[in-house]
């Protein structure tokens, strides 16, 4: 009897439970559009662009704890990343996509990405890198991000968020990859949001 | 003792009660102690060990997370980045919670038990290490999701931190475990010790209690036994019943009480009989009380009598005391008086009314040499010296028995040894009630010493102490007596005044001691030269007088006078000095030259002066004419003294004229004495007298002073000549005096010339020369006066520093008449010039003399021809005229 029950637990219930958990973090609706379709939508406005920061120099990692005022304690953009950020910004401008708020994580790499791309940015504490936070704080960050993503921008405008992998993963289950990728999200008007698709950094140049 | 107030039962219970209390206390303390140590152990087990367990659990959790990290990395290649992140995040959360728990534990631990697994510093360090580990773990996770191949490095780093932490932690834990073990064992030992202590203490208390119980019960039982024994003895004496020895003590006690009961019964019977007797006694008492009353009354009256008597006694006692005090003070006074009488130096003799000696004092015994016993009962006749006559004693007796009842006077007594002593005696009679002398008190003072003193005084009064000759007083006395005697017998007597010639010189040159010795020798010689019945006396100084009595006429006197002179002329040897003096004797005869002592003395004195005047070393009989002269002389002397004191002299100045050109650069000062009556006294008259009477020094000083002052103030640079007498050149003070006069007047020494006569050098040429040389050394020049007339030898001329030679006037006067004199004068001038001296001719009165002298080469002239001595004012006028004339002549 005991052996049966335990085998049941281990081999049946546990995987389901794990899957359930995994499912719990997925967004409500996931539709995948192509980058070109996304651009046309963006041109009309009302979406949120979640950028992962551009390519960084992987040789150095952030110091833990990090000094947000001092970029030398962080993993910063590589020259490649900086070029990507500029290019993305140029492309977005060329494509006629109108940008409203630009909010970034306080990390230098995110700020630089935004500044290089859009020439302006607004650092936001709640976009702090989630991986370094403890469980309570992480929940707070995640909730904050969810709230931001559930906010509809100004008509015809798109809000931009430049932040990290962990944050989006926590808030939506999406793992933004690679560095510099932009996910397009839309608020569903009911306090939630849905992900519509992503544009990788080198795809912008070919879009029209 | 409060303890004794408690009842027996309480006392017996006290011990066990106290014991019980102490045991309870002990048990309670032990239980409490055991409880607390239990608690401690429990705490140890639960808290401290628990704490340790929790720490260990935490670390196990951490290890699990660490392993998960490794697992993640190992499986990462086969996972999606998102999945990697999810799992990594879980591990990080696990690490985070471990850190939280650790911190929580540390806070709690600090607040709770005494046994800390880690102290604050250690906890802080651990937390820091954990943070470091977390950092590297975070980096590892991060990198695993970003660039997998780089993640391993971070993991390695994390591992490093982890193993270090692990090692640290393990060490700490071991240490803590050790600590705990020690604590426990210590605690166990403490416990054991405490238990032992308790046991001992309990035992002690038990023993104390036992002892206490034993002693108290022992005491009680002993006392009880004592009481029983007492009772038994009492009962045995009360009854003849024998006690059963084996019976219990309490039984014995009860039987004893029985016996007592019987005794009590008997006592009751006896009481009754006593009561009856009591009544009888009461009756008797009443009788006695009455008797007592009577006694009391008689006692009272007795007491009154006694107090009366006591008062009387006290009064008479007081009187007695007063009398005793009086007696005592009288005794003291008597004692005092006795002391006085015994110790006084006055000899005291006490006789009865009949003159029988009843007492003498020690002084009397001493003075008279008799002992008290030898004198008592005797009369004063015992000490009779035999020097007083009957009348003396009759007068004494009279004085004592009537009138003043007292006698005072001098009386000579004979001592036991035969010595006769003078006493000054005062005798007082003590009268009885009838007014008759009952006793005579005689005080006698030994005045032998006094008498001796009187005698010496007599001596002093009448004799000259130095020579032993009669003095002036005695002489006068004798003279008076002898005059009377001579008158009575119709004889003559002679009074001679003897004055020693040159005595003053001797005194001055050889000193006073030599002078005194000389006088003594003179006295001796005079005495020897005269008869026994003649008198030699010393009147004072060097004046001696002689009274020669019983002579018939002058012719007897002369040989005596000559003898005196001869004996005085003989040289005297005094020490090593050979002294030669002489005597001048003046003789006055009685009754030829006077009939009373005064006249005779005066005439003899005058005669003596005459002798002196006639050349000394001779005698002179009085001549009335001489008296006049001597009186005159005395007057002169007196006025001379006065003149000296009152500045009665003046100086006149006679110019000394240079023969060649009639120029005047020098003047000689000459003293003039203008007396009050207008007469002038020539220096020739008073200078010798002054010299004789020692006034010459003063006069010469006066002259010197005034001459120097004159010269100093004269406008013309005159040199002034001053005559000094010879005597001054024997006096060593002369030179300083001269110098002083020069200083005082301010005159340059070169303007002073001192004139000395040849006689100045006769005395002691050496002294004279020294003085002259001393004065000359200051610049003063010297002139030899009256050259040619004195007893000088020409060697003196060469020995003395002389600048001028003055040729005596006698030579100048005879010069023109007598060839020889003229030759002498010429040679004098030559001599003077050869010796480097200038020559002054004195007494030039005529033109011819002046011319002759000029021809002879004489330098200066002085005399009436040129000018007589002039007072200062006239001199200055005379000089001015001459100056005018000279100027006139030279200009002409």
**In this complex, which of B82, B142, B147 lies closest to A131 when CB atoms are compared?**
B142
A82 is written with which tokens?
Answer: 């900086």
Asked if B525 and B475 count as a contact pair (C-beta separation under 8 A), the reply is: no
Sign of CA dihedral B881, B885, B891, B892: positive
Order of strands across the sheet with B535-540? B535-540, B543-551, B492-501, B582-590, B619-621
In whole angstroms, what is the distance from residue B57 CA to residue A145 CA?
36
Do B150 and A59 count as a contact with CB atoms less than 8 A apart? Answer: yes
- Token look-up 């990198």 returns B143
In CATH, the number for domain A28-206 is: 3.40.50.1240
In chain B, which residue's Cα lies nearest the Cα of A137? B93
What's the mean per-residue pLDDT of chain B? 85
Q: What is the secondary structure of B142-174 as a DSSP string?
A: HHHHH-HHHHHHHHHHHHHHHHHHHHHHHHHHH
Q: Measure CB to CB from residue B135 to each of A64, A169, A177 and give the nearest one.
A: A64
CA distance B659 to B797: 24
B546 within 8 A of B534, measured Cβ to Cβ: yes
The continuous run of DSSP H or E covering B231 comes out as helix B148-238
Contacts of residue A64 in chain B, CB cutoff 8 Å? 134-136, 138-139
Nearest C-alpha neighbor of B465 from the set B535, B534, B500, B516: B516
Q: How many CB atoms lie within 10 A of CB B297?
A: 9
**Is the Cβ pair A58, B136 closer than 8 Å?**
no
Q: State the best of A26, A30, A53, A61 to mutate against chain B, taking most chain B CBs within 10 Å.
A: A61
H-run or E-run covering B804: strand B804-807
The reply to whether omega before B518 is within 30° of 0 (cis) is no
Q: Is there a contact between B387 and B408 (Cβ–Cβ < 8 Å)?
A: no
In 3-state terms chain B splits into helix, strand, coil percentages (rounded to 5) of 65, 15, 20
Cα dist. B292→B284, B285, B298, B761 in Å?
A: 13, 10, 10, 144
DSSP B678-743: S-EE-HHHHHHHHHHTT-HHHHHHHHHHHHHHHHHH-SS--EEEEE--GGGGG-TTHHHHHHHHHH
3-state secondary structure of B70: helix
Dmax (CA) of chain A: 69
For the CA atoms of chain A, what is the radius of gyration? 19
pLDDT at A22: 45
pTM value? 0.37
- For residue B424, give the H/E element and its range: strand B420-431
Interface of B with A in 67-106 (CB under 8 A): 80-82, 85-86, 88-89, 92-93, 96-97, 100
Q: What is the mean pLDDT of residues B241-251?
A: 61
As beta bridge partners, residue A103 has A122, A161
Q: Is the dihedral of CA A140, A142, A144, A150 positive or negative?
A: negative
The most confident of the ranges A8-17, B219-228, B404-413, B786-795 is B404-413
Whether residue A131 and residue B93 make contact (CB cut-off 8 A), yes or no, is no
Indicate the pLDDT class of residue B579, thresholds 50, 70 and 90.
Answer: confident
pLDDT tens for residues B102-148? 888 777 766 655 445 556 777 778 778 888 888 888 888 888 877 78
pLDDT exceeds cutoff 80 at B631: no
Q: Looking at residue B73, what is its pLDDT?
A: 85
CA atoms of A42 and B866, how far apart (whole Å):
180
pLDDT attached to residue A27: 46
| Res B36 pLDDT > 80 | yes
Q: How far is A131 from chain B (nearest CA, A)?
A: 7
Please tell me what DSSP assigns to residue A53.
P
Residue in B96, B100, B150 closest to A58 by CB: B150
B139 contact residues in A (CB cutoff 8 A): 61-62, 64
pLDDT at A23: 44
Query: CATH assignment of B344-452, given 3.40.50.150, 3.20.20.70, 3.40.50.1820, 3.30.450.20?
Result: 3.30.450.20
Residue B425 has pLDDT above 80, yes or no: yes
Contact B96 A132 (CB under 8 A): no
Surface-to-core class of residue B223, CB atoms within 10 Å of its CB (0-12 exposed, 13-18 middle, 19+ buried):
exposed
Least confident range from A50-64, B248-262, B312-326, B835-849: namely B248-262
* Residue B68, SS3 per DSSP: helix
Question: Count of H helices and E strands in chain A?
Answer: 7, 6
B417 pLDDT more than 80: yes
What is the pLDDT, as a whole number, of residue B238? 60
Across B462-480, average pLDDT: 87
CATH number listed for the domain at residues B469-622: 3.30.70.270
User: What's the pLDDT tens digit per position in B656-714?
Assistant: 999 988 888 899 999 888 877 777 877 887 887 787 777 888 888 889 999 999 998 88
Q: What is the pLDDT of residues B476-508, one digit of tens each?
A: 988 998 888 888 888 888 999 999 888 888 888
Q: Which of A144-148, B196-200, B737-741 has the lowest mean pLDDT?
A: B196-200
Q: What is the mean pLDDT of residues B605-622?
A: 84
Highest mean pLDDT among B18-27, B285-294, B489-498: B285-294
Residue B771 has pLDDT above 60, yes or no: yes
Give B170→chain A minimum CA distance, Å. 26
What integer pLDDT is reported at residue B40 of this predicted model? 81
CA B140 centroid distance within chain: 116
Looking at B382-498, list the stretches that DSSP marks H as alpha helix, in order from N- to C-terminal side.
390-401, 448-462, 472-489
CA distance B739 to B778: 8
Collapsed DSSP state (helix, strand, coil) of residue B551: strand
* Residue spans of alpha helices (H) in chain A: 2-8, 14-24, 35-44, 79-94, 108-118, 135-149, 165-172
- The DSSP-derived string for B561-606 is HHHHHHHHHS-EEETTEEE--EEEEEEEEETTT-SSHHHHHHHHHH
Contact pairs from chain A to chain B, CB under 8 Å: 52
On chain A, the residues whose CB falls within 8 A of the CB of B134 are 64
Q: Are the C-beta atoms of B652 and B673 separated by less than 8 Å?
A: no
By CA distance, what is B135's nearest residue in A?
A64
Q: What is the pLDDT of residue B176?
A: 76
pLDDT score of B412 more than 70: yes
Residue B726's alpha-carbon distances to A28, B94, B131, B687, B758, in angstroms, are 178, 158, 146, 12, 8
Closest by CA position to B522, among listed B495, B542, B548, B549: B542
| Check whether domain B644-886 has CATH 3.20.20.450, yes or no | yes
Cα–Cα distance, A63 to B141 (Å, whole number):
13
SS3 A58: coil
Would you list the DSSP string of B466-489? TT-SB-HHHHHHHHHHHHHHHHHH
Please, which pLDDT band fits residue B852 given cuts at 50, 70 and 90?
very high
Structure tokens at A52: 């992962």
pLDDT in tens, chain A (208 residues): 667 666 666 666 555 555 544 444 444 445 588 888 889 989 998 999 999 999 988 887 888 788 888 888 888 999 999 999 999 999 999 998 999 989 999 999 999 999 999 999 999 988 888 888 888 888 899 999 999 999 888 888 999 999 998 888 888 888 888 889 999 999 888 888 888 898 998 888 888 8
Q: Which of A54, A60, A64, A173 to mutate to test the interface with B (most CBs of B within 10 A)?
A: A64
Cα B652–B654–B659 angle (5° rounding)?
A: 170
B692 burial class (0-12, 13-18, 19+ CB within 10 angstroms)? middle
Q: Identify the weakest region by mean pLDDT among A116-120, B287-291, B883-887.
A: B883-887
pLDDT computed for residue B786 by the predictor: 83
Q: What's the ipTM?
A: 0.80
Mean pLDDT of B236-240: 62
pLDDT of amino acid A25 = 46
d(CA B590, CA B327): 80
Does the distance separating the beta carbons of B150 and A131 come in below 8 Å?
no
Instruction: State the average pLDDT over residues B532-549.
Output: 87
CA distance B521 to B137: 159
Spatial neighbors of B561 by CB under 8 A, at least 6 apart, are B496, B585, B587, B619
- With 0-12 / 13-18 / 19 or more C-beta atoms within 10 angstroms meaning exposed / middle / buried, residue B343 is exposed
Of the candidate ranges A129-138, B404-413, B741-750, B830-839, the one whose mean pLDDT is the lowest: A129-138
Residues in a beta bridge with A185: A48, A195
User: What are residue B559's DSSP bridge partners?
Assistant: none
- Let me know: does B847 contact B866? Beta carbons within 8 Å: no
Within 8 A of A26 by CB-CB distance, chain B residues are none
Partner-chain contact B141 A177, CB within 8 Å: no
Q: Flag if A135 and B136 touch (Cβ within 8 Å).
A: no
CB B364 within 8 A of CB B345: no
Do B142 and A61 form a contact (C-beta atoms < 8 A)? yes
For CA atoms A27, A31, A33, A38, give the dihedral sign. Answer: negative
Mean per-residue pLDDT, B801-813 = 90
3 state SS of B444: strand
- 8 Å CB contact of A175 and B142: no
> Which chain A residues have a beta carbon less than 8 Å from that of B150?
58-59, 61
């Amino acid at each position: 009897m005991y052996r049966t029950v335990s085998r049941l637990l281990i081999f049946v219930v546990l995987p389901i439970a794990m899957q359930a958990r995994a499912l719990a973090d997925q967004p409500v609706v996931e539709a995948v559009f192509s980058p070109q379709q996304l651009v046309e939508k963006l041109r009309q406005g009302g979406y949120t662009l979640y950028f992962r920061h551009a390519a960084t120099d992987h040789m150095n990692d952030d110091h833990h704890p990090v000094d947000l005022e001092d970029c030398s304690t962080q993993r910063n953009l590589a020259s490649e990343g900086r070029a990507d950020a500029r290019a993305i910004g140029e492309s977005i401008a060329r494509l006629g996509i109108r940008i409203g708020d630009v909010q970034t994580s306080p990390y230098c790499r995110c700020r630089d990405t935004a500044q290089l791309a859009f020439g302006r940015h607004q650092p936001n504490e709640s976009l702090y890198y989630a991986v370094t936070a403890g469980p309570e704080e992480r929940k707070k960050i995640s909730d904050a991000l969810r709230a931001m993503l559930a906010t509809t921008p100004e008509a015809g405008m798109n809000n931009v968020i430049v932040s990290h992998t962990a944050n989006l993963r926590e808030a939506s289950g999406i793992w933004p990859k690679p560095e510099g990728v932009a996910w397009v999200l839309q608020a569903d008007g009911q306090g939630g949001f849905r992900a519509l698709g992503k544009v990788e950094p080198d795809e912008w140049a070919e879009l029209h | 003792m409060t303890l004794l107030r408690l009842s027996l039962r309480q006392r017996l219970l006290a011990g066990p009660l106290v014991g019980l209390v102490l045991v309870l206390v002990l048990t309670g303390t032990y239980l409490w102690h055991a409880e607390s140590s239990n608690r401690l152990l429990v705490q140890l087990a639960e808290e401290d060990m628990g704490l340790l367990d929790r720490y260990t659990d935490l670390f196990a959790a951490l290890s699990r997370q660490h392993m998960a990290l490794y697992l993640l990395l190992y499986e990462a290649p086969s996972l999606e980045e998102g999945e990697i992140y999810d799992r990594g995040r879980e591990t990080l959360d696990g690490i985070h919670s471990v850190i939280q728990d650790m911190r929580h534990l540390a806070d709690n631990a600090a607040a709770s038990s005494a046994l800390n697994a880690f102290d604050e510093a250690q906890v802080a360090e651990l937390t820091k290490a954990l943070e470091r580990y977390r950092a590297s773990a975070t980096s590892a996770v991060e990198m695993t999701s970003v660039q997998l191949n780089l993640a391993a490095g971070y993991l390695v780093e994390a591992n490093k931190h982890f193993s270090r932490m692990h090692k640290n932690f393990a060490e700490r834990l071991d240490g803590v475990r050790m600590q705990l073990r020690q604590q426990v064992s210590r605690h166990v030992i403490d416990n054991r010790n405490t238990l032992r202590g308790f046991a001992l203490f309990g035992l002690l208390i038990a023993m104390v209690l036992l002892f206490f119980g034993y002693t108290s019960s022992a005491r009680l039982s002993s006392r009880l036994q004592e009481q029983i024994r007492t009772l038994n003895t009492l009962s045995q004496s009360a009854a003849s019943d024998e006690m059963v020895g084996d019976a219990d003590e309490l039984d014995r006690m009860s039987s004893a009480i029985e016996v007592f009961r019987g005794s009590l019964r008997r006592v009751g019977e006896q009481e009754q009989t006593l009561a009856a007797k009591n009544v009888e006694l009461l009756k008797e008492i009443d009788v006695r009380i009455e008797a007592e009353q009577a006694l009391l009354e008689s006692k009272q009256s007795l007491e009154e009598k006694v107090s009366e008597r006591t008062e009387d006694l006290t009064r008479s006692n007081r009187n007695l005391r007063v009398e005793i005090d009086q007696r005592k003070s009288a005794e003291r006074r008597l004692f005092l008086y006795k002391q006085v009488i015994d110790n006084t130096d006055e000899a005291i003799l006490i006789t009865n009314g009949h003159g029988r000696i009843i007492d003498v004092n020690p002084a009397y015994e001493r003075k008279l040499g008799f002992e008290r016993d030898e004198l008592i009962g005797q009369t004063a006749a015992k000490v009779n010296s035999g020097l007083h006559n009957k009348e003396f004693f009759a007068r004494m007796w009279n004085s004592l028995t009537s009138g003043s009842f007292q006698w005072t006077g001098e009386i000579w007594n004979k001592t036991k040894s035969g010595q006769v002593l003078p006493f000054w005696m005062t005798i007082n009679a003590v009268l009885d009630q009838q007014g008759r002398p009952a006793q005579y008190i005689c005080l006698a003072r030994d005045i032998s010493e006094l008498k001796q003193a009187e005698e010496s005084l007599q001596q002093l009064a009448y004799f000259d102490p130095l020579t032993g000759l009669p003095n002036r007083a005695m002489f006068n006395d004798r003279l008076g007596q002898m005059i009377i005697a001579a008158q009575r017998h119709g004889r003559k007597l002679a009074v001679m005044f003897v004055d020693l010639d040159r005595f003053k010189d001797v005194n001055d040159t050889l000193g006073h001691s030599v002078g005194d010795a000389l006088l003594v020798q003179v006295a001796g010689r005079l005495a020897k030269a005269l008869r026994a019945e003649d008198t030699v006396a010393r009147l004072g100084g060097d004046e001696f007088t002689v009274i020669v009595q019983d002579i018939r006429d002058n012719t007897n006197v002369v040989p005596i006078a000559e003898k005196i002179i001869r004996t005085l002329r003989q040289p005297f040897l005094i020490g090593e000095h050979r002294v030669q003096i002489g005597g001048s004797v003046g003789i006055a005869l009685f009754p030829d030259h006077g009939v009373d002592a005064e006249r005779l003395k005066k005439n003899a004195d005058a005669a003596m002066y005459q002798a002196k005047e006639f050349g000394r070393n001779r005698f002179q009989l009085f001549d009335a004419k001489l008296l006049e002269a001597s009186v005159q002389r005395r007057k002169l002397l007196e006025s001379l003294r006065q003149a000296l004191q009152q500045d009665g002299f003046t100086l006149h100045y006679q110019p000394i004229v240079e023969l060649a050109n009639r120029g005047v650069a020098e003047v000689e000062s000459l003293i003039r004495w203008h007396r009050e009556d207008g007469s002038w006294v020539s220096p020739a008259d008073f200078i010798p007298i002054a010299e004789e009477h020692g006034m010459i020094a003063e006069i010469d000083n006066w002259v010197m002073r005034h001459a120097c002052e004159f010269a100093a103030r004269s406008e013309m640079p005159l040199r002034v000549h001053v005559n000094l007498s010879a005597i001054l050149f024997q006096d060593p003070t002369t030179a300083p005096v001269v110098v002083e006069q020069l200083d005082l007047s301010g005159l340059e020494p070169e303007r002073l010339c001192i004139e000395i006569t040849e006689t100045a050098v006769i005395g002691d040429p050496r002294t004279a020369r020294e003085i002259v040389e001393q004065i000359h050394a200051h610049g003063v020049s010297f002139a030899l006066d009256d050259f040619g007339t004195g007893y000088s030898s020409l060697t003196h001329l060469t020995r003395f520093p002389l600048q001028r030679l003055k040729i005596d006037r006698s030579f100048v006067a005879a010069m023109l008449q007598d060839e020889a004199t003229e030759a002498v004068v010429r040679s004098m001038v030559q001599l003077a010039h050869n010796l480097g001296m200038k020559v002054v001719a004195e007494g030039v009165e005529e033109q011819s003399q002046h011319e002759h002298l000029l021809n002879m080469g004489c330098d200066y002239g002085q005399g009436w021809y040129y000018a007589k001595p002039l007072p200062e004012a006239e001199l200055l006028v005379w000089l001015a005229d001459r100056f005018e004339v000279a100027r006139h002549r030279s200009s002409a």
